[in-house]
Amino acid sequence: MHSKSYILLLHHQQNHETMRKIFVTMLLVGMMCLTGGLVACSSNDEVNEPETVVQPPIVEEEQGLTAEMEEAINSGINGFSFNLFKVMANNSPRTSIVVSPYSVASVLAMLNDGADGATRKELLEALGFGNSTTRGVNEFFQKQLAATADGDGARLQTANALFVNQGQELAETYTADMTAYYDAMVEALDFSSPASVSRINGWCKEKTNGMIPEIINVLSPQTQAVVANAICFGAKWAEPFDKRDTQPGMFTTEDGKSIQADFMALGSTKGRTVSADTYDALRMDYAGERFAMTILLPKEGYDVSHVVGTLSTESWTELCRQLDAQEPWFTFVSLPRFTVEPQDESDISSVLKSLGIKSMFSAATAEFPHILADASPLYVSKVEHKAKILVTEDGTEAAAATVSEITNGSPGHDYPYPTFIANHPFLFFISDRQTGCICFVGAYHG
């Protein structure tokens, strides 16, 4: 090895050894500093406190729909149906009415998504949803939307929409929930223009197949958003009535008056009947047998209000169980051909307040922090609902719409077999036998 090369190698080894010693010394000093300050680690002899590391908050994802939640919500909607109808029937005694509790519940569920605090608690309690989470409620209605029917002679369609005042921005999460869970159409409108009222009514008319052509008359200048639901039902009877058998007859009202009506007649081989203390019940299936109309005809000595007073989730469940267990028997059915038009008064805000939903109608108490992007204080100025039903020889057509404004005689013969002659006021229900949901409920007084 050349002497020059040897000297360079030796110099390199010496440098390496020096650097190793320096590194070891720095490591020891660093370890002493980390022990909590037993050795001064700064030139001014101050002890440096260890830096606190702030951990991001743990956000727990809300629980989705469970079997227990689904059972509670299903039961809750039927309980809400009876409570809602009881108040409306008592407010309009001896008046033919029809309501879609499912439509009202859908709008309230959409409001629930943007609610908090006492407002959300009142909504869940009135709807009978128990301790269901917002996500669980949303997934339930998403499942109901997917279960709508269109075929086999029966059609049930629902639609949701969210109209927002021009210049306002919806919260991103709320918009996402409305579109993902409720398949809601979101549209911005200039609420100061009369055209916005026409647009909302046009949507309502389209989604109810023309049965509810108008749901609102005017929008308040302070309205920032409108939450809307429409439901449309159409089905043919499993056993249609023959129009040639329809005959005029007398229908006796609760005040004893006799009025003429057209009575449809049918010798049914599929009808199921049950006799209760205050009424006789008849269930008639629609084509496909998923949907059915159940009629509760008060017995002598009782009227519609007596029967309404007996309605509950438990009594309805028991009635359905008895009807399911009953063997179909040949029954003569005489039913008036009838139509129940929407009532002139469509604001049901006072009805909802009587059911315990109060805070959302007051600017001082409403809690809707999750609807608008700027989280400005909001309250519900009113909830409007209209429904209509048409019962003929072929089948039944029914429709309803709900919007929430967010604001800064019969044949005189004796028959040797069971009969069901609805010649005086009665109650009627249209229910989904697959889900158990009551879609429409009403009273016919002639």
The two structure tokens encoding residue 298: 């008060």
Better pLDDT: 189 or 41:
189
The two structure tokens encoding residue 117: 């605090």
Could you tell me the pLDDT band of residue 51, with boundaries at 50, 70 and 90? very low
Q: Which residues share a beta bridge with 187?
A: 163
- Name all domains of the chain by residue range, CATH numbers in brackets: 67-236+338-408 (3.30.497.10)
Residues 110 and 178 sit within 8 Å (Cβ to Cβ)? yes
Residue 112 has pLDDT above 80, yes or no: yes
Q: How far apart are CA 134 and CA 341, in angstroms?
A: 34
Classified as helix, coil or strand, 138 is: helix
The string of pLDDT tens digits covering residues 226-239 is: 999 999 999 999 99
| Mean pLDDT, residues 267-294 | 93
Q: How far apart are CA 359 and CA 357, in angstroms?
A: 6
Q: How far apart are CA 335 and CA 151, in angstroms?
A: 26
Better pLDDT: 34 or 68:
68
Could you tell me the pLDDT band of residue 22, with boundaries at 50, 70 and 90? very low
Q: Name the pTM for this structure.
A: 0.82
Of the candidates 343, 315, 319, the residue with the CA atom closest to the CA atom of residue 443: 343
Residue 141 has pLDDT above 50, yes or no: yes
Strand ranges for 316-370 from DSSP E: 331-336, 338-340
| Mean pLDDT, residues 149-170 | 88
Residue 51 makes CB contacts below 8 A (sequence gap 6+) with none
